[in-house]
């Protein structure tokens, strides 16, 4: 599963430093040439520039989308990672593209997919890619489920992929795991670490699980890689839009001077690539530069989500002849609750809640008069009529009530926004209060909002 002999970062740096500048440049050019020359029939291939050997026990969590550390990549180095396969129709095309470019990548397989398409797992192995796992059933609730359940998901996923790999599974399955939907939990990460398994997040996604065009996937991939300059790209080999976008992504990366790095696990026969601790940070702190000069590296990428491009309207239109494939089978499975890669609501939902809270706190405090109950006037004729036993509900009256309820709900919402939150429990409490003091309440508010109380009474009767 190793594409090339690994070369330690320290060793390479020392070699370059020990050489004349011109010799260093020649070495660099030679390396690029060798990379293309090693790719039969494709002199324009981007190739795989080097193999990085990592020890999961030294760095159990990587990927700046969620963690402080990421792979010790140099500037303009990218690791390609693919989740959720294998799904032969699209995964085989991804394999063909990678082979044509002599690129080695890191895959995270789902146990159920491996059981269904074991031949696809062996194709990955035979092509020399690194195989990690991605749970058995791809639940998007690993951050909530009991840890014993999460352990089962992890263990079963590994067992399924091993079963597909056969007798040599222990040698060919990498100790790498990506949590479905990136729904991380400390207990899950701790269990993985205790098993010597490295938890992979990523440094940038390309949103290829969303229903966007392949050209948008390409745009997002390149924009985000360029924004950080290096890192782990998260893709999905089960997606047709990814198949369509990948050749252009690789061509652009090559044209812009990027290099592909293949990551493999350390073994007794293959020690980890020597690195310095700061190399595992996206912005390593150099001794000659004051720390305060460097931007703070967020522990969680979504705190800096504004660095990502805002989706364009065309993302959802599919006009202009762009490829907008139908949903993949696994997508449809997800709609029945089995999960998809990176659901929209998973990592980003916190942003929405935060925005709402901010807006609420910015609103003015409601005046005291809002809560005042006026002195009880004499019951009006209208209120007395409302106190009469309700007529038997009919379909027409039920519809009317529904419409009125919507109107009242809107009123409550406006009140909530003005600073009087009306939770479900409060609503029930308020309704009970009105029921026991119906005459008082109706009389008190009869002239202003008789409809509201009528609706509440009717709603309780339905
Ligand atoms: Zn996934």
pLDDT for position 216: 98
Give helix then strand counts, H and E, for the chain.
17, 10
Which range of residues forms the domain containing residue 243? Answer: 9-351
Same domain, 15 and 149: yes
Q: How many domains does the chain have?
A: 2
Torsions phi, psi for 301 (to 5 deg): -65, -25
Q: Which of 351, 380, 404 is the last residue of a domain?
A: 351
What is the model's pLDDT at position 281?
A: 86
Q: Residue 49 and residue 66: Cα distance in Å, rounded? A: 26
Centre of ligand 1 to C-alpha 151, Å, is 17
pLDDT tens for each residue of the chain, 462 residues long? 433 444 344 444 433 333 333 333 333 333 343 455 579 889 999 999 999 999 999 999 999 999 999 999 999 999 999 999 999 999 999 999 999 999 999 999 999 999 999 999 999 999 999 999 999 999 999 999 999 999 999 999 999 999 999 998 999 999 999 999 999 999 999 999 999 999 999 999 999 999 999 999 999 999 999 999 999 999 999 999 999 999 999 999 999 999 999 999 999 999 999 999 999 987 544 444 333 333 333 344 443 433 444 444 444 433 333 333 333 433 333 333 344 443 333 343 323 334 444 444 445 555 655 554 544 545 555 544 554 555 454 444 445 444 444 443 433 444 433 444 444 444 444 444 444 444 333 333 333 333 343 334 333 332
Distance 1 CA to ligand 1 centre (A): 22
Cβ-contact 121, 109 below 8 angstroms: yes
Report the C-alpha gap between 42 and 37 in whole angstroms: 8
How many whole angstroms from 226 Cα to the centroid of ligand 1? 24
Q: Are residues 447 and 301 in the same domain?
A: no
203 in the same domain as 129 = yes
CATH number assigned to the domain comprising residue 66? 3.20.20.370
Q: How far is the CA of 256 from the centre of ligand 1 (A)?
A: 29
User: Does residue 2 sit within a domain?
Assistant: no
Q: How far is the CA of 400 from the centre of ligand 1 (A)?
A: 46
Looking at the structure, tell me whether residues 217 and 104 fall in a common domain: yes
User: Which pLDDT score is estimated for 390?
Assistant: 52
Q: Which ranges of 258-394 would DSSP assign to H, the alpha helix?
A: 329-333, 345-362, 381-387
């Amino acid at each position: 599963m190793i594409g090339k002999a690994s070369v330690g970062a320290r060793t390479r740096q020392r070699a370059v430093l020990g050489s004349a500048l011109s010799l260093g440049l020649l070495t660099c050019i030679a390396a690029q040439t060798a990379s293309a020359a090693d790719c039969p029939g494709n002199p324009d291939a981007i190739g795989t520039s080097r193999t990085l050997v990592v020890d999961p026990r030294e760095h159990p969590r990587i990927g700046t989308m969620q963690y402080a550390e990421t792979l010790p990549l140099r500037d303009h180095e990218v690791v390609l990672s693919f989740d959720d396969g294998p799904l032969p129709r699209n995964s085989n095309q991804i394999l063909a593209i990678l082979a044509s470019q002599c690129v080695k990548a890191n895959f995270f397989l789902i146990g159920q997919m491996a059981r269904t398409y074991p031949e696809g797992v062996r194709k990955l192995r035979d092509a020399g890619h690194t195989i990690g796992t991605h749970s058995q059933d791809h639940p998007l609730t690993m951050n909530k489920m009991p840890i014993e359940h999460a352990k089962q998901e992890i263990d079963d996923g590994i067992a399924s992929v091993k079963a597909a790999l056969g007798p040599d599974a222990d040698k060919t399955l990498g100790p790498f795991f990506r949590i479905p939907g990136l729904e991380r939990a400390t207990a899950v990460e701790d269990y993985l670490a205790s098993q010597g398994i490295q938890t992979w997040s990523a440094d940038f996604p390309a949103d290829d699980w969303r229903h966007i065009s392949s050209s948008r996937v390409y745009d997002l991939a390149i924009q985000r890689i360029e924004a950080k300059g290096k890192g782990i790209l998260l893709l999905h080999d089960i997606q047709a839009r990814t198949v369509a976008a990948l050749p252009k992504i690789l061509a652009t990366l090559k044209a812009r001077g990027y290099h592909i790095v293949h990551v493999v696990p350390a073994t007794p026969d293959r020690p980890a690539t020597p690195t310095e601790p700061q190399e595992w940070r996206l912005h390593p702190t150099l001794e000659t530069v004051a720390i305060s000069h460097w931007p703070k590296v967020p522990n969680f990428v979504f705190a800096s989500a504004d660095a990502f491009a805002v989706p364009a309207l065309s993302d959802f239109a599919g006009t202009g002849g762009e490829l907008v494939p139908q949903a993949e089978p696994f997508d449809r499975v997800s709609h029945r609750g089995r999960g998809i890669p990176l659901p929209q609501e998973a990592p980003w939902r916190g942003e929405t809640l935060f925005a709402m809270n901010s807006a609420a706190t910015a609103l003015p405090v409601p005046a005291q008069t809002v809560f005042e109950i006026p002195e009880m006037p004499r019951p009006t004729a209208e209120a007395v009529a409302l106190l009469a036993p309700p007529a038997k509900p009919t379909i027409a009256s039920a519809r009317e009530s529904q419409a009125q309820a919507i109107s009242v709900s809107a009123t409550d919402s406006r009140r909530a926004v003005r600073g009087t939150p009306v939770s479900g429990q409060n609503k029930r409490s308020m309704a009970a209060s009105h029921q026991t003091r119906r005459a008082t309440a109706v009389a008190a508010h009869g002239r202003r909002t008789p409809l509201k109380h009528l609706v509440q009474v009717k709603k309780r009767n339905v």
